[in-house]
Structure 1
């Protein structure tokens, strides 16, 4: 499809495939933007978990598909088994526990994939993943406008029948390899993609008024990250609900 991008009053016409939009302005910046995905897939994984590498590889393959945004959340509850996960964040484990509480099970495990904040499947089960993807969809479309060389404006219109949603900014590293020296995966070199480094709220979407938010891209990314996803997720009390819409921007 053709995408019109206006930067500093200058209209640029570029050809882009599927939903990956290439954004360039000389040497100032170079981004890729993924719009209108059908699914956000969140993988809870650990370097100390024996079946997790298979799920990590699946997530990488899913991330190559234009209609899926993938995020890898490393957890630390397997660290006791002999290897401390080098990417684990306590907040990742708390998010997984919140999903389990909302599901009414209280059970957490790895590898676990959550589709659009609703459906949990075993991350290494190809059959479960295929079924989840076939039925996955998002309620809202996010519109992205380039304001300047380093600011994007993201809007989502009102929509009745939905609840208020938190807008989360989730930063990630694009890829990394880790040599595991102990634990269940000892001796393996493990590869990872879209490794979550932070997750923080930056706004709200209201079903009656919609949302408009401006993101300063360099500041959002910081020096160590390769991209971020902006995720609109319904509140279920104090717990995470459905993901209604998302967009991803990467270097």
Structure 2
């Protein structure tokens, strides 16, 4: 799987809509306390408990849950059907930002700031108990358009706005590798990531997305993530919201 670039139509809509605009009074405010990114693999024998935990976390409206399937376990004998080298690179970038060279599965990263073993419920829930997101992201559907308003907040630094599309459920029969013979259910599977633009602390931003084009193919949900970068590496996540058709 590779990143799919936006069509010129989508890019045009985004370019026209990325304007200074406060959150409207009739918008639906979604302010979760955490974004949980699970780095997992169908070829990882210890990952199924973490996959199941992410499924339960996704049911909590306070959490935006995303599963990034890495590709570095493919050598074991099973090629992950959702595996992507870019997702492995994202995990490595997190490790580098924390001064480490170690990556592993299953790992859950909470708000871009803390990594824990994804199958250890106590560690995961402990990290979530301390989690919060300082920036609100307002989402409202208007026909076939998704309107996203991110207000200014001068107590924070500028950040990148990402759109992450995902598939809410996939059933996979694994024939070889460490999970051979298992029929697995995967949820919140990331299908693509794209930069929408910059959020500026002094002005905020409004974005419009054409839902039918963004959720083409098999994607069923959109997560909007506002995340700082430090020296080109991922930093803290400031705010997020999710939409599912």
Aligned to 1:129: 124
Which of the numbers 217, 220, 239 marks the counterpart of 1:226? 220
Whether the 8 Å contact between 1:34 and 1:249 is mirrored in structure 2 is: no
Secondary structure of 1:106's partner?
A: coil
Whether the 8 Å contact between 1:40 and 1:69 is mirrored in structure 2 is: yes
Q: Write the distance in 1 (CA, Å) between the matches of 2:211 and 2:186.
A: 23
Aligned to 2:32: 37
Which of the numbers 83, 101, 105 marks the counterpart of 1:88? 83
Aligned to 1:101: 96
Secondary structure of 1:50's partner?
A: coil
Alignment of structure 1 residues 39-78 onto 2, 5 Å? 39-78=34-73
Aligned to 1:237: 231
Secondary structure of 1:170's partner?
A: strand
Whether the 8 Å contact between 2:227 and 2:238 is mirrored in structure 1 is: yes
Q: Which has the higher contact order (CA 8 A, sep 6+)?
A: 2
Whether the 8 Å contact between 2:41 and 2:70 is mirrored in structure 1 is: yes
What does the per-residue CA deviation read over 1:80-122, in whole Å, with 9 as the maximum and x for residues that have no partner?
A: 1111111101111111111011011021100000001111000
Aligned to 2:167: 173
Scaled by the length of structure 2, the TM-score of the pair is: 0.86
Scaled by the length of structure 1, the TM-score of the pair is: 0.84
193-202 or 216-225, which deviates more: 216-225
Q: Write the distance in 1 (CA, Å) between the matches of 2:139 and 2:183.
A: 38
Whether the 8 Å contact between 1:163 and 1:235 is mirrored in structure 2 is: no
The runs of 5 or more residues in structure 1 that have no matched partner are 1-32
Q: CA RMSD in A?
A: 1.5
Aligned to 2:137: 142
Q: Write the distance in 1 (CA, Å) between the matches of 2:68 and 2:197.
A: 22
Higher strand share: 1
1:248 corresponds to 2:242: yes
Q: Write the distance in 2 (CA, Å) between the matches of 1:77 and 1:69.
A: 25
Secondary structure of 1:101's partner?
A: helix
